[in-house]
Structure 1
Amino acid sequence: MLQGIVESLTGKKEDIEEGHRNKIKGKVVLMKKNVLDFNDLSASVLDRVHELVGQKVSLHLVSIYKFENNIAENNKLKGKVGKAAYLEKWITTIASLTPPEDTSYNVNFDWEEEIGVPGAFIIKNYHHSEFYLKTLTLENVPGHGPVHFICNSWVYPADKYKTDRVFFTNKTYLPNETPAPLIPYREEELMILRGDGNGLLQEWDRVYDYAYYNDLGDPDNGQDLARPVLGGSSEYPYPRRGRTGRPPTKTDPNSESRIPVLMSLNIYVPRDERFGHLKLSDFLGYGLKSIFQFLLPEFKDLCDSISNEFDSFEDALEIYEGGLKLPDGPLLKSVYDNIPLELLKDLLPVDGEGLFKFPMPNVIQEDKSAWRTDEEFTREMLAGVNPVIISRLQEFPPRSNLDPKVYGDQTSTITSNHIKNRLDGLTIDEAIKNNRIFILNHHDSLMPYLRRINATTTKTYASRTLLFLQNDGRLKPLAIELSLPHPDGDQFGAVSKVYTPAEDGIEGSVWQLAKAYMVVNDAGIHQLISHWLNTHAVIEPFVIATNRQLSVMHPIYKLLHPHFRETMNINAVARQILINGGGLLEATVFPGKYSLELSSVIYKDWVFPDQALPVDLVKRGMAVEDSNSPHGLRLLIEDYPYAVDGLEIWSAIKTWVKDYCNFYYTSDEKVQADTELQSWWKDLREKGHGDKKSEPWWPQMQTRKELIDSCTIIIWVASALHAAVNFGQYPYGGYMPNRPTVSRQFMPEPGSSEYDELKINPDKVFLRTITARLQTLIGIALIELLSRHSSDEIYLGKRDTPEWTTDVQPLEAFDKFGKKLGEIEERIVEMNNDEKWKNRVGPVNIPYTLLYPTSEAGLTGKGIPNSTSI
């Protein structure tokens, strides 16, 4: 019947074939909305009705050589626009309801000699609903051959737009090399993307704009949920996030109102920045909502019914081995009622008998107690989930950089007597001179906030941990210093105690607690700084600036765009449910309500050039410059897996970026003359990282070297650095005793009842000190979700389409980059199997694979996605 309707509207088959002569044949690949959105299945029907009444999808080719007569924009003539062509057989082409699947449509353009070679096309969607336009391919343009348009964009109904949607070919142009007929389209598109800075942004808006982090608090629901505005002040500087345009709160005009959590995770980001795959979108959407809305009350009921404490390590293992029975009741029913059955299997570790059960974390898969050894404790500083903090000690005792006028004397109280007998016969001076003493320092970052943090239910310390590099390349702990603010006031300095390694008796139990307090510090700093601030937050301004100032035809846009995939979306979800006041992060890490405020204070020390891995390693004293060594550096701990693998990845990225940039920029003068590039860098510095705009360390973007170095840093941070600090979260932190995030009581003092109990039942005291059952269940449910790779992930060295540029030399350089990453994968496997490298596997027998470039979907503990997308 539908075929008959089509023929009645468009003519008989013979007439159609006759009309296809002198045509340019094209193929459009798109994904219909109804394939992706089961909430709008009516879209399919309505779109077919619109087709029947002539409301179709039209495409117009735009000439790269010819101008429209008498049509000028800003005194610039626009390229000539060809006749309309329409997507064919929309009615009879039935898209699969098994998501996600592309649908192809033919489109036939009249060959118009005055158009010549097209450089762009205009598309108008007169249907009811939007669709995701992937590509347009013209089979054979006379005198030219095939032409590819890589679109990858949502196209909404035409009435949602003030101007036509324009897509350009995959040809790359610097601004001053752009064919004149395309220049007005190029400039107009960037103006649309920048927006005008006003109004509430809607899902079809394509505006990339900046805002402060002023949407974390919810003062209208009580002052306990109010949070300071981060960004725009010297007290609380911060990178910018994407603007949504929501109105201010009633209570505080400087704070932006929030979407109620129970309503939606649908926070505005430009639609093309949304999660592009149904499974990933639902996984994060349903998964995070289920933890917050449904599992949080379920966990609370569970902990209330059976005790909020783990009584033994065997008890703690039950959540992996035996499972925990969720309590019956309306809340449990809500879990099942509100989450589709198919997703329930992936999102909630609930078996057929209603037992809540998590996957066994790698750290305890082979040995349930190896994580407690001093060797594993120190190894994870080099090869765990937070290997970016450790530094070389250059003076003894360690000094503080805190202002002594405010915080008094914060010099370490670790003395020579604490460590002198553990230096393998060296004096302290000799050990320092020979680069044998290292430190994990969480003192200065935490001390200013410790008094306020400990006024809540948390009871924790600021820590310094000294380590000694042994002849076999392993570290051993020398001492842990735990410090509290002076009870009489900050100006009187710190009150500190020093603990040294012990294996047996009460001293051994105290030492295990001292390590736990240090790890609590490290887990919080990891989540807030190493992970959130230094990857997610600092990259978002680059995403925004790139889309505001660089055309899709610009070579640097094409270079960087894959590394921004879904970053704005995951950050928006984080603001809504993870890092917000009262959110999941505050509920699970020790700084609590001060978490993001603390990250703002630490952002004061963020320096863009220092994010380069070689610069970071030298700054931390973990490497020295050496022109005779690979990568120009010599590692002072040769067996430092993060640095060894990281330098290989860094070098591969830099070589690729250098080959790419040097193809388009043959001189420094070309960098200086690139108007879009200069606007991009200015926008990024003065707006995106506006609180840092006066810093002298910003590259001036006047040379090819500055361009190459900057792009290498951006790609490194968005891909490899994020992978190194994210995908090990569940393998190491899924077992909370190994990576506790909260401490709830101070170290037992001799003579106290707690100290006596420590003698009798040290495991019980340990578990009463670290994260409680409720926080443990919430925390590991969260990190399990965020440690997974999606099935549509695109990894470093890969692209979603092979036709992303027409230029042969960059394509060859990219292929070389991919092959180099393959060689690095083989080398990582080889080193992990070499017993010479003791830090790559360790007592828990977890090979270091966090910088292994590729991965399968799921909870793998390896793989470098192109972007910070989870």
Structure 2
Amino acid sequence: MLEKLMGSVCGKIKDDPKKVEQQRKIKGTVVLLKKNVVDVTDVCASIKDRFHELFGKGVSIQLISSVHCDPSNGKKGKLGKETYLEDWVSKFTSLNANDEAKYDVVFPWDESVGVPGAFIIKNHHHSQFYLKNVILDVPGHEELHFDCNSWVYPTHRYKYDRVFFTNKTYLRNDTPEPLLFYRDEELKNLRGNGKGMLKEWDRVYDYAYYNDLGTPEKGEDYARPVLGGSADYPYPRRARTGRRPNKKDPNTESRLYIPSLKAYVPRDERFNQVKLSDFIGYALKSVGQVLVPEFKAVFDKTVNEFDTFQNVLNLYDRRIELPNGHTLEKIREHIPWELIRELIRLDGEKFLNYPMPDVIKEDRTAWRTDEEFGREMLAGVNPVIIRSLTEFPPTSKLDPRVYGNQNSRIMREHVEKNMNGLTVDEAINNNKMFILDHHDALMPYLRRINATKTKTYVSRTFLLLQDDGTLKPLAIELSLPHEDGDAYGAISEVFTPCDHGIGNSIWQLAKAYAAVNDSGYHQLVSHWLNTHAVIEPFIITTNRQLSVLHPIHKLLKPHFRDTIHINALARQILINAGGVLERTVFPARYAMEMSSVIYKDWNFTDHALPVDLIKRGMAVEDPNEPHGLRLMIEDYPYAVDGLEIWFAIESWVKDYCSFYYPTDDIVKEDSELQLWWKELREVGHGDLKDATWWPNMQTRGDLIHTCTIIIWVASALHAAVNFGQYPYAGYLPNRPTMSRRFMPKPGTPEYVELESEPDLSFLKTITAQLQTLLGISIIKMLSSHSTDEIYLGQRENPEWTADDQPREAFKRFGTKLVEIERKIMERNNDGRLRNRTGPVKVPYMLLYPSTSDESKIGGLTGKGIPNSVSI
């Protein structure tokens, strides 16, 4: 793994030494990482930079005054003398990323410049370097901190000066006049000119449609519609790359020919070397874990099938035996040794074996129980869909002129036999009926989906809240488009629980079809669309319109880390035409198109957790409750833990924003803030710009609520729907992503097989072996924390702001999160709360913040709330 190196240099003053001795000096520290250390394979970088130093082409810094303008240079801040960094050649640079070295830098004190508020840095070397921070000790003043965290390329790569500001915070109207030009100019540079293909050294944040998913030159099967910019296919914007149009379809952007990590994202948004190394390591090992089981499957009696549940379990609980005497040496004939060496990472896993998913660690069959099936709607990987049932039978919102009658065909006699003596009306009136409903979201695409290799239904699952707090599945309604056409409505069949014989086998299949729906919706909407995709425009707009000096930029910046990069990688290998998602999730080629249609109903304000719970009927307002909400299911782990996290974030954001915005008028008069919000609505989420639910951004309340939602979505919501993927879906029979044949009908060979070999029939219905291996490999990678992860309540640099009150408020936020961790552990240990662990004995830890240093271990921890959508 490539490691960081902290290096720095001493100041080299070109004035007469005796004169300098008489002057007062500004002393400080510069910390940077040289390219040849970050990328140890680049031997030339160090040699060429040393050569440049010998000829006087080094790195210079000029301080910019925050108090005095230069009369000869308009209103720009007065510049100090240019100072060159020395000892680049002679200073020893450690190869240990954790062995930080600090070196002095000295500037001549110039009274006419006064206290600096920024500096210009020029890199005359051949190679770029990563500037982490600069600390200056100005005589008679407090220590100045410059939190830089940026790659600085050679000067010829830029048409402007690289400027860095102190960690002081200013609204634009309060910015010292000498810094105002540099503040505005920096934002102008980050916006770019909207033209040309962007290069790695460009720092441009700009918008584009999702027009880079298809490869139409491969044929119609690989063509995909442009998402965004139309009423038919609205979508959030992504970061622009400027690649040339595809020769086959000029509306499609050309793609990189080989799956690559080199897709353009603004350089400072790319993974750092620790994160990139972890990502590649997890990816390579996941790929390796696919190869041998699939190779072995060639010798099975049924190719590309699991014959028994034990075949599936063999992926985890023992070393994989290679077929027909094949050894590691034989495998080397097919896999490069460099890859094998990477696969054998010291992460505690068996070579080429998957780690045991949590859902089957304690009990190999508990996942099949009805109680666990219902519990995972409250505490699994997708706990954000279930809602209260308020009408029976439920009606559809699909246009009957297009889709006919799509209302539910369920009847009271289907469910009342299992309702413990209650009637449907009594259960609804007492808030005891719930539904997991994927019917309307998926039905418009089901006919096209089933024209592929997929053979599945859309589902409605009905549940009863019992006195012990658990959910009891009552019925599952499976529906297909009418064979005579969409306008004829749906063909539906209702299945109810049965605990023996063929009836039980049919019920297990019905649950599997419902799980297929939920898995696909989770990946496409709950996870990708509602966290990854919707957050990216906020990142782009923030960098284009809010200066690094702006308080809201400082507040939100940690919650944007790595998101643009992981989204770019997703477009390259996951959500593209023929990518992993299309190969492993049932909507296949219609996956992203379907998510676009669902985006039409996206509502930013609905992502406030209290609003979401009330809208789904999972909570009601109650002033007697601690947070003013009463949950309809008291033991709803996602909601219980989530509300504590939500209100902790809200309290922190309120304290922070109130410090900089003591009145509503300041919000209205903040020009950068208003431009930020206008561009976000009209461009970043421009296809929904006319929606009436957008906050007006005229009050402190609007600002606080908006920032709280952004932070919640980027941190806690993403954690709740992402890091449980491998614990629950790593064993794919629990959450299959595809179904390949319909429910067997009496009198058919499939029905006979279901009677005689129900497990084999189940496995032949759900995801096939290769798709299973690909699917669990990718979710294993996506469920793994990087070792450099920064979690909610943590900051990379304790000197992120010079203002004491916001820093104190942030400390209170961290203390509150520690208290929430304690409460979560107490709840998980309370045996009365059956939904906290369930039959599978998996404690709910997905909203456990992980504030301690133990969080730095990385990997499949099954807990922790990273600050951002970072994987």
Q: Same fold (TM over 0.5)?
A: yes
Deviation of residue 115 (structure 1)? Answer: 0.7
Q: Is the 8 A contact 1:125 1:155 kept in 2?
A: yes
Q: Is 1:577 the counterpart of 2:577 in the alignment?
A: no
Partner of 1:396: 392
Aligned residue for 1:166, secondary structure, equals strand
Partner of 1:204: 201
- The amino acid across from 1:176 in the alignment is N
Q: Is 1:283 the counterpart of 2:281 in the alignment?
A: no
Deviation of residue 459 (structure 1)? Answer: 0.6
| Aligned residue among 100, 103, 106 for 1:108 | 106
Deviation of residue 583 (structure 1)? Answer: 0.4
Deviation of residue 96 (structure 1)? Answer: 2.5
Q: How do residues 331-370 of structure 1 correspond to structure 2 at under 5 angstroms? A: 333=333, 335-339=335-339, 341-342=341-342, 344-345=344-345, 351=351, 356-370=352-366
| Aligned residue among 625, 647, 653 for 2:649 | 653
- The amino acid across from 1:160 in the alignment is R
Partner of 1:453: 449
Distance 1:164 1:11 in 2: 22
Deviation of residue 153 (structure 1)? Answer: 0.6
Deviation of residue 304 (structure 1)? Answer: 3.2
Partner of 2:298: 304
- The amino acid across from 2:202 in the alignment is D
Deviation of residue 145 (structure 1)? Answer: 2.6
Q: Is 1:590 the counterpart of 2:586 in the alignment?
A: yes
Partner of 1:3: none
Partner of 1:79: 77
- The amino acid across from 1:275 in the alignment is F
Partner of 1:50: 52
Deviation of residue 335 (structure 1)? Answer: 3.6
Q: How do residues 793-832 of structure 1 correspond to structure 2 at under 5 angstroms? A: 793-832=789-828
Partner of 2:712: 716
Deviation of residue 334 (structure 1)? Answer: 5.5
Q: How do residues 14-413 of structure 1 correspond to structure 2 at under 5 angstroms? A: 19=21, 22-72=24-74, 77-99=75-97, 102-139=100-137, 141-262=138-259, 264-276=260-272, 278-285=273-280, 287-288=282-283, 301-306=295-300, 307-325=303-321, 333=333, 335-339=335-339, 341-342=341-342, 344-345=344-345, 351=351, 356-413=352-409
Q: Is the 8 A contact 2:284 2:342 kept in 1?
A: no
Q: Is the 8 A contact 1:30 1:104 kept in 2?
A: no
Q: Is the 8 A contact 1:295 1:335 kept in 2?
A: no
Deviations 1:798-820 (A, max 9, x none): 10011111111111100000000
- Residues 133 and 738 of structure 1: CA distance in aligned 2, closer, same or farther (over 3 Å): same
- Residues 346 and 599 of structure 1: CA distance in aligned 2, closer, same or farther (over 3 Å): farther
Q: Is the 8 A contact 2:285 2:342 kept in 1?
A: no
Structure 1: which 5+ residue stretches go unaligned? 1-5
Deviation of residue 766 (structure 1)? Answer: 0.5
- Residues 101 and 194 of structure 1: CA distance in aligned 2, closer, same or farther (over 3 Å): farther
Aligned residue for 2:680, secondary structure, equals helix
| Aligned residue among 761, 764, 771 for 1:765 | 761
Q: Is 1:861 the counterpart of 2:862 in the alignment?
A: yes
Distance 1:418 1:764 in 2: 28
- The amino acid across from 1:195 in the alignment is G
Deviation of residue 427 (structure 1)? Answer: 1.5
Deviation of residue 225 (structure 1)? Answer: 1.0
Aligned residue for 1:184, secondary structure, equals helix
Deviations 1:155-198 (A, max 9, x none): 11111110100000000000100000100000000000011100
Deviation of residue 87 (structure 1)? Answer: 2.1
Deviation of residue 348 (structure 1)? Answer: 12
Q: Is the 8 A contact 2:537 2:684 kept in 1?
A: yes
| Aligned residue among 441, 462, 465 for 1:466 | 462
Deviations 1:26-80 (A, max 9, x none): 10111111222133122122212211211111111000111123213xxxx1000
Distance 2:86 2:17 in 1: 15
Q: CA RMSD in A?
A: 2.1
Deviates more, 1:821-830 or 1:756-765: 756-765
Q: Is the 8 A contact 2:64 2:113 kept in 1?
A: yes
Aligned residue for 2:345, secondary structure, equals helix
Partner of 1:737: 733
Distance 1:46 1:69 in 2: 40
- Residues 807 and 603 of structure 1: CA distance in aligned 2, closer, same or farther (over 3 Å): same
Deviations 1:669-700 (A, max 9, x none): 00000000000001100110010111111111
Distance 1:40 1:101 in 2: 21
Q: How do residues 665-744 of structure 1 correspond to structure 2 at under 5 angstroms? A: 665-744=661-740
Deviates more, 1:391-400 or 1:61-70: 61-70
| Aligned residue among 562, 567, 571 for 1:566 | 562
Distance 2:284 2:244 in 1: 24
| Aligned residue among 735, 744, 751 for 1:755 | 751
Q: Is the 8 A contact 2:25 2:139 kept in 1?
A: no
- Residues 100 and 570 of structure 1: CA distance in aligned 2, closer, same or farther (over 3 Å): farther
Q: Is the 8 A contact 2:294 2:769 kept in 1?
A: no
Distance 1:236 1:348 in 2: 45
Deviation of residue 665 (structure 1)? Answer: 0.3
Deviates more, 1:21-30 or 1:837-846: 21-30
| Aligned residue among 525, 530, 542 for 2:526 | 530
- Residues 387 and 55 of structure 1: CA distance in aligned 2, closer, same or farther (over 3 Å): same
- The amino acid across from 2:115 in the alignment is V
Partner of 1:552: 548
TM-score (normalizing by structure 2):
0.95
Deviation of residue 422 (structure 1)? Answer: 1.9
- The amino acid across from 2:339 in the alignment is I
- Residues 346 and 246 of structure 1: CA distance in aligned 2, closer, same or farther (over 3 Å): farther
Deviation of residue 289 (structure 1)? Answer: 6.7
Structure 2: which 5+ residue stretches go unaligned? 1-8
- The amino acid across from 2:277 in the alignment is D
Distance 2:322 2:868 in 1: 37
Aligned residue for 1:725, secondary structure, equals helix
Deviates more, 1:509-518 or 1:222-231: 222-231
Deviation of residue 16 (structure 1)? Answer: 9.6
Deviations 1:587-614 (A, max 9, x none): 1100101110111011011001001000
Q: Is 1:520 the counterpart of 2:516 in the alignment?
A: yes
- Residues 397 and 818 of structure 1: CA distance in aligned 2, closer, same or farther (over 3 Å): same
Q: Is 1:628 the counterpart of 2:624 in the alignment?
A: yes
Q: Is the 8 A contact 1:269 1:569 kept in 2?
A: yes
Distance 1:628 1:832 in 2: 25
- The amino acid across from 1:159 in the alignment is H
TM-score (normalizing by structure 1):
0.95
Distance 2:286 2:232 in 1: 33
Distance 1:532 1:785 in 2: 15
Identical columns (%): 63
Size of the alignment, in residue pairs?
A: 851
- The amino acid across from 2:228 in the alignment is G
Aligned residue for 1:767, secondary structure, equals helix
Deviations 1:235-277 (A, max 9, x none): 0000000000000000100000001224x2211010100112x
Deviation of residue 479 (structure 1)? Answer: 0.1
- The amino acid across from 2:774 in the alignment is I
Q: Is the 8 A contact 2:24 2:139 kept in 1?
A: no
Aligned residue for 1:826, secondary structure, equals helix
